[in-house]
């Protein structure tokens, strides 16, 4: 498994959560469920929470309100999780959540941040039939994937404590690697 870990740059000890970031279709929800089963931590999917709080689907929010409003909902949710001192959870985030510098800081305060990566071809295969991906509802979704991945990669890299390339790995292999790295992170911080 290709991975790298970084020290926390915040002086305050983060809450004991595992926070999954990465591009849409990178496996955050699947890995989140696997980590939930292995660790017993409750799973929070930020997109699902926002849908519940607003009573709208993500595509409806994008269409009726805007992507900017959706990003504000993401920030508000992170602030809520921090103010509630949410701990011992698996937090699966939306793919664009890391694009805000404020969110990057909030995510790192929430816990051990793991960037799940995979190839653009695999992402296309996983997302091409899903109509709940508003940013891919265009004439050339593969171009959109590559362009967004290029734009977002520096944000993922800056935010994550650990980078894991999931291409070709089983859920169990990825989960095991994340758990070992998280144990080391929390044991040394």
Options 3.40.50.300, 3.40.309.10, 3.40.50.720, 3.30.1450.10; CATH for 3-188 is 3.40.50.300
As a whole number of angstroms, the distance between CA 176 and CA 50 comes to: 29
Percent of the chain exceeding pLDDT 70 equals: 86
Identify the band that residue 5 occupies on the pLDDT scale cut at 50, 70 and 90: very low
Q: What pLDDT, in 10s, does the model give residues 40-67? A: 999 999 999 999 999 999 989 999 999 9
Q: What pLDDT, in 10s, does the model give residues 98-155? A: 999 999 999 999 999 999 999 888 888 877 666 666 556 667 778 888 998 999 999 9
Grouping H, G, I as helix, E, B as strand and the rest as coil, residue 168 is: coil
Identify the band that residue 3 occupies on the pLDDT scale cut at 50, 70 and 90: very low
Q: What pLDDT, in 10s, does the model give residues 127-143? A: 766 666 655 666 777 88
Spans of all domains in the chain: 3-188
16 burial (CB, 10 Å; 0-12 / 13-18 / 19+) is middle
Please tell me the predicted confidence (pLDDT) of residue 84: 96
Strand order in 3-5's β-sheet? 3-5, 162-165, 112-117, 18-22, 89-92, 42-45
């Amino acid at each position: 498994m290709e991975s790298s870990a970084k020290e926390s740059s915040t002086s305050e000890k983060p809450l004991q959560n595992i926070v999954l970031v990465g591009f849409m279709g990178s496996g955050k929800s699947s890995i989140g469920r696997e980590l939930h089963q292995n660790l017993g931590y409750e799973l929070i999917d930020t997109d699902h929470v926002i849908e519940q709080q607003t009573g709208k689907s993500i595509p409806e929010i994008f269409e009726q309100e805007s992507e900017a409003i959706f990003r504000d909902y993401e920030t508000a949710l992170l602030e809520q999780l921090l103010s509630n001192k949410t701990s011992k959870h698996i937090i699966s985030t939306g793919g664009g959540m890391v694009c805000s510098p404020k969110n990057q800081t909030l995510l790192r305060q929430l816990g051990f941040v793991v960037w799940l990566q995979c190839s653009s071809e695999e992402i296309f295969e996983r997302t091409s039939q899903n109509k709940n991906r508003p940013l891919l509802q265009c004439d050339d979704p593969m171009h959109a994937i590559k362009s967004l991945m290029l734009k977002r990669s520096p944000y993922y890299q800056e935010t994550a404590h650990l980078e894991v390339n999931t291409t070709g790995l089983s859920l169990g292999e990825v989960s095991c690697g994340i758990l070992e790295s998280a144990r080391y992170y929390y044991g040394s911080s």
